Every structure is written in C-alpha cells, then in structure tokens.
Amino acid sequence: MTIQWFPGHMHATRKAMAERVRDVDAVVELLDARLPGSSENPLLAELTRGKPALKLLNKQDLADPALTRVWLDHLQARPATRALAMDASERAPARRLEAACRALLPNRGGLVKPLRVLICGIPNVGKSTLINSMLGQRAARTGDEPGITKTEQRIMLAEDFALIDTPGLLWPRIEVDESGLLLAASGAVGRNAYDEEEVARALLGRVRPRYADRLATRYRFAPAPAAPDDEVLTEIGRRRGALGPGGRISLQKAAEVVLNDFRSGAWGPLTLETPEEFAAWCAAAAAR
C-alpha cells in the first residue's frame, strides 16, 4: 500500500523550512516514541544535514520503556545528536529541552550569539501540546515579525533562546510501506489516505508477536500465533459487537475499535519497531 498524503500547504512549508533551516543553530524533531524510525522525517533529514539535532521521543507514556531506551541509545550514537524521551505529563519540558539544546551548542548563548532552534515533527506527534505546555510555563510567544511567516511562530524559552515553530511536515511519499502503515495507525496520516481495515490488520500483525498478552487481556481471547490477522480482527469485532447491516460482523467497525484502542493506549505501553527492524524495512524498500 502506498500512502500519498501531501496537502498543498506542505509544499509551502517545505520551501519555508529550507529557508529557515539556513538560519538556525539546531533542530529539535519530535518523534512518536512508539515508532521512532517511521516518524522521523527523511525530508527534514535532507534539509537539516549537518545541523546539531535533538530527537525528542514524545508520548513515551504510550511506548515500551525498554525499547525507548534502545531507541535513545541508537539515536544518540549519531554525531551531534542528543535524544530525550518525554510525554505530556512532563512538569518542566521547557527546562529539559533548553538544557539539552544548550549542551548540543556549547559555543552559543548570550545576547551576542542567541540560540535559534527549529522545532518540528509530523502531524499528531504532540507538538502543539508540548508548545502549549511550554507557553503555559515560562516561555513567551512573540508577535508577528518580519521574516516570520504566518505559519511560523517564535517562542522565547529564555532571553537568548528562541524556538522557531513550524507546522507539521510529512514527506511527499512514504517509500517504506511498513512505516506508512504504522504512521497511519498512529494517526499521523489524514484519514482519507488509507484503508482502515488494512491498517488495523497490519497493526495487529506488528503487535501480536511481541505483545500477544496485551491483546489477550484487552479482548479476552488468545488466538493461536499462526492465526491470520484477518481472523483475529474478525474475532475482535465479534467480541466488541462491531456489527454492520444484517447483524454481520463489520470489519470496518472492528478496525475502528483496534485503531482507537491503539491510539488511546488501551493496550498498554508498546513500541511497534526496533532500530534493526526499521533499518531492514528501509533496506528492502531501497532495493525495490
């Protein structure tokens, strides 16, 4: 399945970002801690090559803590890169984010060389929540300024530290099929760009091998490991009363149950990919 989702304003964003990136000292990218590889934007990587980077694994409350540690180590092994895990319950996100950025840029700071840091992330990754939380604490939002487009805002985390915010940015074409499905499952992709049944089946296929017990607890049945995902989806639909016309089980409604449960964290904290799995998908996609 190819997911195509690149609304018009994103073309403008790409162009604006390419211009913005030139003037910033570092880039903070929010990643979904449940799918850190798939939620990392290759377009952004291309635009920001060579800049120090802070990777922020957000929604860590929904992710498997052991795999979050694996991902943090994996990301921090890159040059000029730091990684942090966070979620919306973080009490002082601005302080942690600022400290991490200052550590990345030890030679900047002060009013002569203020820090300018771009913050970005794909849609639904929790960027507005984080920014609102920071604004609610000590940061101040600045008004219109020349050179700052309407779609951007500057948030002063300190007198000498500006965060430049951009709207969500997804890449024009998701080349790695597995990533496209996981992004759709996470809610990062517009609803009309994918088939819910296909995404729910793929999600079950990812979750069952590692977290079969969670599904068994949630839906009170334990399918055989070899049972096809279709069958499992149908049984979830039966157990959840997902019925369509004529009282038949509706796979569409069963898929909605599965996706809503995953997105709300009803299965407990889980992570959908390891760095090795993600690297293997990318290699296979590149070889196609």
123 binds ligand G4P, rule: CB under 6 A: yes
Residue 153 marked ligand-binding = no
Stretch that binds ligand G4P, among 123-131, 209-217, 223-231, 278-286 (CB under 6 A): 123-131
Counting DSSP H helices and E strands in the chain, the numbers are: 10, 7
Query: In whole angstroms, how close is the CB of 165 to ligand G4P at the nearest point?
Result: 10
Is 186 assigned to a binding site?
no
Asked if 124 touches ligand G4P (CB under 6 A), the answer is yes
Q: Which is nearer to ligand G4P, 179 or 186 (CB)?
A: 186
125 binds ligand G4P (CB under 6 A): yes
Nearer to ligand G4P among residue 42 and residue 228 (C-beta): 42
From 3-11, 120-128, 192-200, 228-236, span contacting ligand G4P (CB under 6 A)? 120-128
128 annotated to bind ligand: yes
CB atoms within 10 A of CB 147: 9
Quote the least distance from Cβ 266 to ligand G4P, whole Å: 11
Our finding on whether 270 is near ligand G4P (CB under 6 A) is: no
**Which position among 36, 37, 126, 269 is part of the footprint of ligand G4P (CB under 6 A)?**
126
- For 173-192, letters b (16+ CB in 10 Å) and e give ebebbbbbbbbbbbbbbeee
87 CA to centre of own chain: 12
Residue with the CB atom nearest ligand G4P in the bound state: 126
Is 107 annotated as contributing to ligand binding? no
- Asked whether 261 and 229 are in contact (CB, 8 A), the reply is no
Site mask, ligand G4P, residues 35-74, x = CB under 6 A?
-----------------------xx-xx------------
Contact of 152 with 164, CB cutoff 8 Å: yes
| DSSP three-state, residue 32 | strand
Residue 280: which H helix or E strand, with range?
A: helix 275-287
Q: How far apart are CA 277 and CA 228, in angstroms?
A: 21
What are the φ and ψ backbone dihedral angles of 6, each rounded to 5 degrees?
-150, 75
* Amino acid, single-letter form, for residue 43: L
Q: Which of the 8 DSSP states describes residue 146? A: T
With binding defined as CB under 6 A, does residue 160 bind ligand G4P? no
Side-chain half-sphere CA neighbours of 276 within 13 A: 2
Residue positions forming the annotated binding site for GTP: 58-61, 124-129, 168
Residues that bind ligand G4P (CB under 6 A): 58-59, 61-62, 87-88, 121, 123-129, 168, 265
